[in-house]
Structure 1
């Protein structure tokens, strides 16, 4: 996940060793929440389609419902889905 995020133009790693995060223009793209969960920024307008396409990969806990975020469950997540979510985040945040 981190290598993919860093492969996108202008993405930089920040955060800590335990909770690394990747940003573009100081705007969050993706952050490792814990060993099995990542938080990814996605536009609200695209979130439902992402959840429908990859139901076992992502979720939106109640605390994130009003935010442009999803949780990626890395142990079950489809790698293509995670990359798609990171792409959405990068597109949204690079502007």
Structure 2
């Protein structure tokens, strides 16, 4: 998946907006490019293990991210379906987190 394809997909999700440092919903990070082949995706910790088990070559967690709700997607070797699934999980996580915050 190319950065342009990532942009097209993320931008198609309801409420997602591209800002200089990534894509956001309710001002909460969904994903951002680290470089041309690495996409940082904000997913719940319990869901990132599922992604890595399903697509071990597509995702990774560098030591600095172990305590965070983030996973790296390697665009040069991940299938588009894997990247879209991670982005969709991040979008749902951030979308509903943002709604809970504004509703209380």
Shared fold, TM over 0.5: yes
Q: CA deviation at 1:14?
A: 0.4
Aligned position for 2:76: 75
Moved over 6 A (4+): none
SS state of the match for residue 83, structure 2?
Answer: helix
CA distance in 1 between partners of 2:37 and 2:93 (Å): 24
Distance 2:63 2:73 in 1: 15
Pairing of 1:4-83 with structure 2 (within 5 A): 4-15=9-20, 20-83=21-84
Report the TM-score, using the length of structure 2 for normalisation.
0.85
More strand by share: 1
Q: Which runs of 5 or more structure 1 residues have no equivalent in the other structure?
A: none
- Bigger proportion of residues as helix: 2
TM-score for the superposition, normalised by structure 1:
0.93
- Mapped to 1, the partners of 2:33 and 2:47 lie a distance apart of 21
Gaps of 5+ in 2: 1-5, 97-104
